[in-house]
Structure 1
Amino acid sequence: MVEMVDRGIGVLSRIPPLPPFVTPEEMIADALPLLDPPSRISVTEAAERALRVPVAGKWEDYSRAVTPYMVEPQDMTQSRRFKAVIFTGPAQSGKSQMLLSVAAHAVTCAPGPVQLIHMTKTDADAWVEEKLDPAVENSPRLLERLGRARDDSTFSRKRFRGVRLGIGYPVANQLSSRSQRMVLLTDYDHMPQRLGPKDAPENTPFGMAMMRIRTFMSRGCVVVESTPAFPVDDTKPAPVAALEPHRMPEVTGGIVKLYNQGTRGRWYWECPDCAEIFEPTFERLDYPEELDPGEAGTRAQMVCPHCGCTISHRQKVELNRRAMQGRGGWLHEARSFDADGRRRLVRIDDPELRHTAYASYALNGVAAAFVNWSELVQRYESARRAFAISGDDIDLAGVFYTDLGMPYRRPRTEDETALTVDVLRARARPLDKGIAPGWARFVVTCVDVQGNRFEVSVVAFGEDGERIIIDRFAIHQPPDAAPRATGDDGKYRAVDPGRYAEDAEVLAELPDRVYPVEGQDWGLKPVAVVIDFNGPAGWSDNAEKFWRKRARAGQGGRFYLSIGRPGFRQADRVWHEAPERASGGRKARGIRLLNMAVDRLKDSVLAALERDGTRINAQHVAAWMETEHLAELLAEQRGEKGWEKKPGVQRNETLDHSVQALALAEHLGLARVNWEAPPGWCVAGLMNTNAVPLARPNDAGSARAIPGTGALPQSINFLRRR
């Protein structure tokens, strides 16, 4: 340390010494390596020389033997023939490690600007902190080339000698007005697929990345890696195996579309018995499907399609390494056909390779180095069986996307067994209106709000999710205490929920209705009433006022306000929480909404309607139901982004009611109930917390009296008069 004297302050101490002077000779010696021509070694060789990776808690030199299938794709990033390298495969297969290998090659062998684009800024920062920085710190050859200035190592860029590695996220300004030799796009299918203004999107991330490498001509390359995340587009024809053996089904977007535009490479193994090559796929895994998923997974073996020999999971490592040595490996589609009229499969350097600017690769999950067949089968079978029961396929789709690395097509019902109103009518159960079946354990009342009425359905639930609609009616008349319409001369008006908050009071009596249980001397009151929070203009505010009034009366737990959340990618099916903002931008206080992933729940409802031969998660229809109500159950069709009304169909209230009922039942804990010792709200008999003794069993009329009063609610009297 040194001391300095300041005329105004005095003596300044503890000033660190200045760094030593750098001589011109030292500066020239430091810059001379930048004048070297690019080293003519592959990306894989450069990674083995310069890159260290974490293995079992310690850092070791990169080895191509761990993920042999990544050698060709990452080496092709330096090819003058291809402008892009596309790699789609399962999670944790070594895809993202390829990006580090490509960056290490640029730093040590071929200096030039490189840009990496992650899904979001948060993910980009996490990748730098968790992957890039530790790799550089533990790789001496990379660390010695990293600049020492304060701005040389940040979350948004790394400056090495002769190389600027930019780290960004998919927005238009990150992929505009810059020249890059390499652009690396990671987790492509989880990026926005259109960049720029919403009303006039500029381009896809891939399209904009291709523009950035133009000035580098044949030396430029765009690298794209991702697990697929877009479903199969059933409106497009399926590929013909003989003409396009490696083509994937057309999807609605993402990396699979890019893969289909490229060379379409697949990874092959050589059979250890017959020496024929074949593609290892999940369909070729053999296991006893009748066993529990965990037990079935332990029995999984690969079957050679040529000789029928079985291959165990422990042989996978050796088969992958032999494939890297030429006994299998990556085969791409050729332009020519063999004598049988099938398209030939060739190596990447074959002159007959199909003409395309993209080298594309698709790896099936069973060949991935870090995928265990036993766990893979267990996850698949668990998801498949859950889908068969609930109709919700989000877990099954996740297995295809994440574990197998393949696009997903939802299993569809064959035309001859498709649901129709006639099919539902033929399956109808002989049950009187307003009577709950003998197996009923609890009842839910559902309200859909329209501009001039409240549409109401009552659903009875039994064990294991069995359910049936036991009542359906509309409330058109407001309560007597509600204000009259201007100038109506005292005449009754129709319900107007958006304009008059008082009209919601007609719903206050719904929890007191009692529904007789068939063959029993007791009935059930609804465990709760769930009311749609959406509706005509003004209704949301009125619904909130109604709920707060009920809460002050001690009935807040008997009423729920529901709101639908569209899309198949909702993380949860049902969640109960306060809205982010109330009406007018005010902060919401004291009110919670029953949020419903409506598209996932509609999957479950339609699957439940198809279950005629089982009671588990089955939704039955009763013989009393009107044809128009049955048609409302089938009013929508499944689209790419969600369920939507069929052309020409206007009403779908019964379907919405079914979704509300299932959402509330799941929120109450239907899936967690131990039916040998159920909680009080779903016990069979008078011990049920909502059970009421009846003087006249099986008489729906006797069940309308409010317990303890003998009086009929005004709104119910009105319904009877109708």
Structure 2
Amino acid sequence: MVEMLDRPAGILTRIPPLPPFVTPEELVADALPLLDPPSRISVTDAAERALRVPVAGKWSAYDRGIAPYTAEPQDISQSRRFKGVVFVGPSQSGKSQMLLSISAHAITCAPGPVQLIHMTKTDADAWVEEKLNPAIENSPLLWERLGKARDDSTFSRKRFKGMRLAIGYPVANQLSSRSQRLVLLTDYDHMPQRLGPKDSPEASPWSMALVRVRTFLSRGCVVAESTPAFPVDEDQFQPPSSLEPHLLPAATAGIVNLYNAGTRGRWYWECPDCSELFEPTYARLDYNRDLDPGEAGEAAVMVCPHCGCCEIEHRHKAELNRRAMAHHGGWLHEGRVVDPATGARRLVRIEDGELRHTSIASYALNGAAAAFSSWAGLVERYEAARRVMEATGDDLDFVGVHYTEIGLPYRKAKDEDEDALTVEALRMQAMPIAKGIAPAWARFITISVDVQGNRFEVMVMAWGPEGERVALDRYAIHQPPDDAPKAKGDDGKYRAVDPGRYAEDAGVLAELAEKVFPVEGEAYGLKPVAVVIDFGGPPGWADNAEKFWRGQARAGLGGRFYLSVGRGGLKQRDRVWHEAPERASGGKKARGIKLLNMAVDRLKDSVAAALGRTNTPIGAQHIPAWMEAEHVAEHLAEQRTEKGWELRKGQSRNESFDHSVQGLAVAEHLGLNRVNWEAPPAWCMSGLGNPLAVPLERPGDPDSAREPAPAQPAPRRIGYLRR
């Protein structure tokens, strides 16, 4: 380090040492290799020569045999025949490694500008720090080509000898005004599918990327990889056909539609017994669905669809993948020729002249063939999610398994009688019970209250084992309590309920917790285990609702009254959670009460599924025969859309549907899904052992109820299950 005295400033300045002397001959020798023509080797060969990857905690040479199905797609990125390469597959299958291999080829063999677009800037920075930088530092051939100046290696740019690797994220200016030889799009379905401001629509990331490589003519290419993340578009759905054997169901957006526009390649294995080729898919895994998910997964085997007798175990997967790379299977694409003997479209390899005519080479890998996932884990996760969906109607986890584990777009299953789920159909299948009388199987009662500007809408539901339920009463409360303030100018006798203006009007709800509902054929009735009241409503109601709940809490009934609030959207933290809000509206200090938060779209999925269960009592919601048609119609007032549940056109009343959601939410919060019905907790026990059961002098007559002694304690003292 050289020290110099800065005389005018009178301070000592430190200057870093000068770089070593370089002769002109050395500069020329360093630059001459850049004039060499591109090396004519494949991306996979270049990756094996230059790239190091982490394997079992150490850095090892790239091995194409680990994920053989990535070799062809990454090699085709250098083809002058195609302008784009699309790869659809499950997570952790080696998709993103392809982009690193393609980059390594550009650095060492075919210098030129390359741009990699990540989902977000945060993800791009994380990828550079956690994947790209370590790979460069541990790969000597890449490290020696990286520029050593301060600005040559940043989070947004890597400068190598003769080429530039730009790392960006999907915004319009990142895919504008720059020429690139290669544009690599990772996790495509998790990007915005339309770029630019809302009032000035731009093209998709794929379309904008194609424009960026246009200057490089046939050498330019766009590569996109992703797991699917968009559902099947029902308006464009087509059943499988022998004329389009590899067509995936059209999705509402995303990479699946890019795949369908391409050559539609699928990965095939050769059967060890009959030598016929078949695609290894999850649907071809054979296991006992009656076993627990873990046990079913351990016993899963792949069955050849041709001979039907060859059972392939998971331990053979790696070998079959390697054999497929040697053309004992491998990637087969749709051809242009239809076999006249079978009427099916012929499948060909990528170099075949009969290949489907398109500028996109596209590939779809099923999760059953993915190198880094086991069949045991795949089956276990699939079966666990499937059983949750069938039990609750909530398919969020099941959707995730299709997207990330199997790599397929998800199509929501339709019940055979879905189109027949009408008011008339529900009334024809109605349960013949008397109004206000709980069926013999009833274990507990819930009451749901929807708050309107001039009334309280109420529905009572009886619940039995395994989530079976039925409404016992459905009515509206219009009259305020006798001690409520009177309307100005009259005696107030006929004033309608006004929950937002008068806090005292909520007093009519206090008696709901003490109502007794006789159990059919028994000498006892049940009080409600919970009364759940809508926290939303007319202006002023939230404050009045809080006052009401605090009054009930002081009376020892706070554990039986809940204030509910709906949370829209399909990606909530849970189905139900009970906690104080972090912040009140308007930035005010959060309220000191807990709210029953409901993921309403997921719960409505469950309610809709429960209404359609006519062949099993498990999780079924029955419509009672006494219910009026208008209240039955309220159960069907909404329809499922891509954004969630919305009112049908021409419908305005959906209170019964909302009541059902409130009831299900509070039942799940109390522990409905965790109850062992062979030894249930006291709150859902049959008989007088239930602390909410009240003996009746006259069976079936709630007016003959005899109060139990001692007085009813708060729920937390009677063994409620808590989340």
For normalisation by structure 2, the TM-score amounts to 0.90
Give SS of 2:234's match: coil
Q: Distance in 2 between matches of 1:553 and 1:199?
A: 56
Q: Which deviates more from structure 2 when the two are superposed, residues 419-428 or residues 466-475? A: 419-428
Deviations along 1:487-538, one digit per CA (max 9) or x if unpaired, are 5674633223344444334323322323333344443332222222333455
Contact 2:695 2:708 in 1 (8 A): no
Aligned to 2:271: 271
Deviations along 1:119-154, one digit per CA (max 9) or x if unpaired, are 223322222222222212211111222233333333
1:599 has 2:608 as partner:
no
Q: CA RMSD in A?
A: 2.9
- By how many angstroms is 1:74 displaced? 0.5
- Within a 5 Å distance, the mapping from 1:268-347 to structure 2 comes to 268-310=268-310, 311-340=312-341, 341-347=343-349
Q: Which deviates more from structure 2 when the two are superposed, residues 697-706 or residues 153-162? A: 697-706
Aligned to 1:627: 629
Residues 92 and 475 from structure 1, CA distance in 2 versus in 1: closer, same or farther, beyond 3 angstroms?
A: same
- By how many angstroms is 1:111 displaced? 2.1
Give SS of 2:385's match: helix
- Within a 5 Å distance, the mapping from 1:79-90 to structure 2 comes to 79-90=79-90
Aligned to 2:204: 204
Aligned to 1:715: none
- By how many angstroms is 1:332 displaced? 1.2
AA matched with 1:46: A
- By how many angstroms is 1:24 displaced? 4.8
Deviations along 1:272-311, one digit per CA (max 9) or x if unpaired, are 2222222222222223334333333333222222222313
- By how many angstroms is 1:65 displaced? 0.8
Q: Distance in 2 between matches of 1:200 and 1:531?
A: 44
Q: Which deviates more from structure 2 when the two are superposed, residues 319-328 or residues 532-541? A: 532-541
Residues 323 and 10 from structure 1, CA distance in 2 versus in 1: closer, same or farther, beyond 3 angstroms?
A: same
- By how many angstroms is 1:176 displaced? 2.7
- By how many angstroms is 1:61 displaced? 0.4
Specify every segment of 5 or more residues in structure 2 that has no aligned partner in the other structure, as ranges. 712-723
Q: Which deviates more from structure 2 when the two are superposed, residues 589-598 or residues 539-548? A: 539-548
Residues 476 and 312 from structure 1, CA distance in 2 versus in 1: closer, same or farther, beyond 3 angstroms?
A: same
- By how many angstroms is 1:36 displaced? 2.8
Give SS of 2:215's match: helix
Contact 1:125 1:155 in 2 (8 A): yes
> Quick one: which of 344, 352, 364 aligns to 1:350?
352
Aligned to 1:121: 121
Residues 85 and 542 from structure 1, CA distance in 2 versus in 1: closer, same or farther, beyond 3 angstroms?
A: farther
Q: Distance in 1 between matches of 2:488 and 2:215?
A: 73
AA matched with 2:202: E
- By how many angstroms is 1:37 displaced? 2.5
Q: Distance in 2 between matches of 1:201 and 1:554?
A: 58
Aligned to 2:385: 383
- By how many angstroms is 1:405 displaced? 0.8
Residues 415 and 692 from structure 1, CA distance in 2 versus in 1: closer, same or farther, beyond 3 angstroms?
A: closer
Q: Give the number of equivalent residue pairs.
A: 708
Give SS of 2:337's match: strand
AA matched with 1:202: E
Contact 1:246 1:265 in 2 (8 A): yes
Q: Which deviates more from structure 2 when the two are superposed, residues 593-602 or residues 398-407? A: 593-602
Aligned to 2:22: 23
AA matched with 2:174: Q
Residues 183 and 696 from structure 1, CA distance in 2 versus in 1: closer, same or farther, beyond 3 angstroms?
A: same
Q: Distance in 2 between matches of 1:36 and 1:485?
A: 93
Residues 595 and 159 from structure 1, CA distance in 2 versus in 1: closer, same or farther, beyond 3 angstroms?
A: farther
Specify every segment of 5 or more residues in structure 1 that has no aligned partner in the other structure, as ranges. 710-722
Q: Distance in 1 between matches of 2:416 and 2:658?
A: 25
Q: Which deviates more from structure 2 when the two are superposed, residues 168-177 or residues 660-669? A: 168-177
- By how many angstroms is 1:431 displaced? 2.8
Residues 559 and 209 from structure 1, CA distance in 2 versus in 1: closer, same or farther, beyond 3 angstroms?
A: farther
Aligned to 2:441: 439
- Within a 5 Å distance, the mapping from 1:353-364 to structure 2 comes to 353-364=355-366
- By how many angstroms is 1:68 displaced? 0.9
Q: Distance in 1 between matches of 2:554 and 2:190?
A: 45
1:139 has 2:139 as partner:
yes
- By how many angstroms is 1:697 displaced? 3.4
Contact 2:335 2:355 in 1 (8 A): yes
Q: Distance in 1 between matches of 2:547 and 2:7?
A: 72
Aligned residues with identical type, % of pairs: 72
Aligned to 2:494: 492
Give SS of 2:592's match: coil
Deviations along 1:326-360, one digit per CA (max 9) or x if unpaired, are 22211111222222332222111222222212111
Contact 2:695 2:705 in 1 (8 A): no
Residues 55 and 426 from structure 1, CA distance in 2 versus in 1: closer, same or farther, beyond 3 angstroms?
A: same
Q: Distance in 1 between matches of 2:504 and 2:616?
A: 44
Residues 708 and 305 from structure 1, CA distance in 2 versus in 1: closer, same or farther, beyond 3 angstroms?
A: closer
Give SS of 1:399's match: helix
Q: Distance in 2 between matches of 1:32 and 1:539?
A: 79
Contact 1:334 1:353 in 2 (8 A): yes
- By how many angstroms is 1:659 displaced? 0.9
Contact 1:513 1:704 in 2 (8 A): no
Aligned to 2:592: 590
Q: Distance in 2 between matches of 1:231 and 1:704?
A: 55
1:449 has 2:451 as partner:
yes
Aligned to 1:252: 252
AA matched with 1:348: I
Q: Which deviates more from structure 2 when the two are superposed, residues 80-89 or residues 394-403? A: 394-403
Aligned to 1:560: 562
Q: Distance in 2 between matches of 1:290 and 1:195?
A: 47
Q: Distance in 1 between matches of 2:553 and 2:438?
A: 28
1:397 has 2:399 as partner:
yes
Give SS of 2:605's match: helix
Give SS of 1:87's match: strand
- Within a 5 Å distance, the mapping from 1:449-528 to structure 2 comes to 449-485=451-487, 490=492, 492-528=494-530
Q: Distance in 2 between matches of 1:198 and 1:505?
A: 48
Contact 2:696 2:706 in 1 (8 A): no
Aligned to 2:715: none
AA matched with 1:274: C
